[in-house]
Amino acid sequence: MTFSARQGIATARRVVVKVGSSSISGENAEKIGPIVDALAEAHGRGTEVVLVSSGAIATGMPFLQLDERPSDLATQQAAAAVGQNVLIYRYQAALREYGIVAGQVLLTAGDLENPTHRSNARRAMERLLGLRILPIVNENDTVATHEIRFGDNDRLAALVAQLVGADALVLLSDIECLYTRPPGEPGATPIKRVAYGDDLHGFEFGSVVVNSVGTGGAATKVSAARLAAASGIGVLVTSADLVGQALTGADIGTWFQPNPEPAAPAATGPVRTARR
CA–CA separation, 244 vs 261, rounded Å?
29
Q: How many CB atoms within 10 Å of residue 74? A: 8
For residues 255 and 235, the answer to whether their CB atoms sit within 8 Å is yes
CA–CA separation, 198 vs 14, rounded Å?
26
Q: Is 54 annotated as a binding residue?
A: yes
CA–CA separation, 186 vs 95, rounded Å?
42
CA–CA separation, 276 vs 267, rounded Å?
25
Q: What is the dihedral of CA 105, 98, 32, 243, to 10 degrees?
A: 90
Q: Is 223 annotated as a binding residue?
A: no
Q: Is 18 annotated as a binding residue?
A: yes
Enumerate residues 6+ apart whose C-beta is below 8 A from 213: 21, 22, 25, 26, 55, 57, 58, 61, 69
Enumerate residues 6+ apart whose C-beta is below 8 A from 154: 18, 171, 216, 220, 221, 223, 224
Q: Is 4 annotated as a binding residue?
A: no
Helix, strand or coil for residue 48? strand
**Pairing between β-strand 209-210 and β-strand 215-216 as defined by DSSP bridges:** antiparallel
Binding positions are: 18, 54, 141, 153, 173-174
Binding positions for ATP are: 18, 173-174
Binding positions for substrate are: 54, 141, 153
